[in-house]
A and B are shown apart, each in its own frame.
Chain A
């Protein structure tokens, strides 16, 4: 297993390098000068030259590229062109917000999507159950997250006043309490801070989770359909086992492998979904930051964010691959 992980991590290096190189050159191929984007109509020729010099953009592209790779190796992504903050600090503050949003929406998507998919597959011959569930899935697929987000905000935040309108809660405080050990000395404060973070997280996670649940339900429906058409299911039923046992003991367990694949795909989809979710709910996070950075041609920030996205997807896929062996004893890694 260790050998397999090492090999996968080694393979990840060129993948990461490839992604970093693509984003480095893609940002520079994109029309639009960072200095013009920053200065707008104040961009006189002299001011532009000064700006390019200050940002190091007057250096040959190859020099910039080598410098970027060398710095990235030391996890130094430079400073944001616009705001001047070190990109690694920025990402360090934003990533936890995006991470918990993805995780929470995964929970929502799994809780909603998987049961819908399974029930829809098992009751596919009962139109009274299957059709409404498929319609729900279709609604989820066609409902943009920003629309659902605004709807949730109007109902639960504006009208019912149950949830905050904006922000991500004091996640920095929670993390600081964990790292300083205050979590044990001041458990009440810690729990209050966690509750505040969850309070801010609920609506965004519901919005993103529900829209993703549609994809999850369709994927789990087809996974379940495939499993229940297998010979061993027919055999189990022929042996006279109760339907519930057939589903729980045989079908669900065998569905785990395709479900894990879904989770791998899900993370990539959810990460892209965070862009709109973070915008509508005005949450801090990597997704919104990345889009703003690309729009502003903030090269270091965009490069840093995409590197982190790529690393996250690589790590999640690695974990998923390893979990295959856990859920399916027939799979071993050498």
Chain B
């Protein structure tokens, strides 16, 4: 037995020696730098016009800015109002189709690419409108007819028709980001990993599958950020992220999913969760053309069978989310809270019997994504539906397969989530406009999974209405119709959530909904401060 013991000692010594390598302190200069360490997934590109992934959009906000930004009101960032950012001021022609925008002077691009001019703005929008390979958001700029450069700091944007949310489209988010024309022309395809913007941090380097390093931009027009460097680590596992937060390896975490367990662990280690509305909404669309859901009584029975509060509490206990009150989420222009059929399984059974299904029915081959919240929410709903006799036979598939199959109308009801620019028009248009009904025969891969045609007229009217109050009333009416026709059941409004070590990083905004934002949780990354 002496040999195994000797072997054990040898292994311990080797481990100790290897461990000792890690005890070497970093050089002084490195130690004094204020480095913000973020654990998230790796972005798929750093071209802000190209990616739909949350992590890509979150990192974009560190490097890019738009003509407008979400305003700070009473110490909170709101998505309901915008204020000037790269644009200094603007005016709208009397007929409502020509915007004249004056740019802030002296704004510099990173890496010596010179001053921001109207040419850069024109280029940033036109590359998307002309669908340059890889760009994804041209559709959000379809309202633009032409862009004319008046002088280096003034441009006129002519619209095809009045657009009530034009200034919201100009927000630094997705299609709204302004990039350097010179850099794109010089770098070509390499721009996606050599981005050049006007944001508070510039891109330094990318080690694939390891990290991205950003550095503070001295010439940022809002002043140099306090943070010297941002190290964006590719950490796919939430468990590893939590260990890193506790150990001090990371200061900010962008988790895949914030569960009760995750929140508990964050709290136990003295960290906080920054909750940012409106976040994403999880909801069911019911295909009103697919039997037996073409009968409104069955749709009503479905809604009575679903205990939304129980699902929300199981998935996101306490403050982790809110029970959703409309299929147009809270935080979007036009939202009003609505009532939905309350949880009542007995009534659900009665309605099913009335509709000719006294013993319920079975849905075979119901496809659900294995990723994100989908399998958990659907499993909870499956159990609730089973109690009223609706048996759902699940097939858990890859996320890509799920997306493919729901666009082939293979699921009679669809669980879906998402975030959009915070106005009723783009949101309702995407999910309830009849043009978006998916149809494998025509190749339409839209997202109107309810196959609803009931608010087309309101959407058309809303798009040309210039009176804010009247616009709001139009979308209130749209929500009432959706509610009456029982085609959509919202479950949870889940805020964007990041975990933060408050002893290491501070933000001026309250952790509890101190900011409203889109895919990124920090509208103003330049205001983040690294503490000792």
Contacts and interface: CB of A to CB of B under 8 A. Distances in A.
B235 interface: yes
A3 interface: no
Contact of B139 (A47, A199, A285): A47
Interface stretch (B256-264, B347-355, B392-400): B392-400
Interface residues of A, number: 63
A285 B133 CA distance: 28
Interface in B405-442: 405, 407, 416, 418, 430
B347 to A, nearest CB: 33
B443 A45 contact: yes
A284 B19 contact: no
Contact of B244 (A30, A165, A279): A165
A150 interface: yes
Interface stretch (A4-12, A36-44, A266-274): A36-44
Contacts of B52: 38-42
A16 to B, nearest CB: 25
A18 B404 CA distance: 28
Contact of B247 (A44, A161, A280, A281): A161
Nearest to B191: A84
A199 B18 contact: yes
Interface in A155-203: 156-158, 160-168, 172, 195-196, 198-199, 202
A42 B239 contact: no
B235 A282 contact: yes
Given A36-B445, A44-B446, A202-B18, A165 B208 contact: no
Given A83-B44, A162-B15, A163-B18, A157 B192 contact: no
A90 to B, nearest CB: 6
Contact of B446 (A45, A165, A168, A172): A45
A27 to B, nearest CB: 11
B400 A296 contact: yes
Given A33-B404, A165-B243, A199 B445 contact: no
Nearest to A202: B18
Contacts of B192: 83-84
Main secondary structure of the interface of B (DSSP, over half): mixed
Given A50-B131, A295-B400, A282 B240 contact: yes
A127 interface: no
A289 interface: yes
A54 B235 contact: no
A222 B193 CA distance: 53
Contacts of A162: 15-16, 18-20, 22-23
Given A40-B52, A195-B21, A154 B400 contact: no
Interface residues of B, number: 57
A93 interface: yes
Given A36-B445, A41-B447, A31 B405 contact: yes
Nearest to B41: A292
A198 B21 CA distance: 9
A217 to B, nearest CB: 13
Interface string A202-241: 1000000000000000000000000000000000000000
B210 interface: yes
Interface in A252-284: 279-284
Nearest to A160: B19
B44 A82 contact: yes
Interface in B222-241: 233-237, 239-240
Contacts of B295: none
Contact of B19 (A37, A47, A156): A156
Contact of A40 (B21, B235, B403): B403
The 5 closest A-B pairs by CB, nearest first: A32-B400, A162-B19, A284-B209, A37-B400, A31-B401
Interface of A: 30-34, 36-48, 50, 54, 82-85, 90, 93-94, 111, 115, 119, 150, 153-154, 156-158, 160-168, 172, 195-196, 198-199, 202, 279-285, 288-289, 295-297
Given A156-B15, A295-B398, 13 more contacts: A31-B400, A32-B403, A33-B403, A34-B400, A42-B52, A43-B407, A45-B445, A47-B138, A94-B209, A111-B7, A162-B18, A167-B233, A202-B19
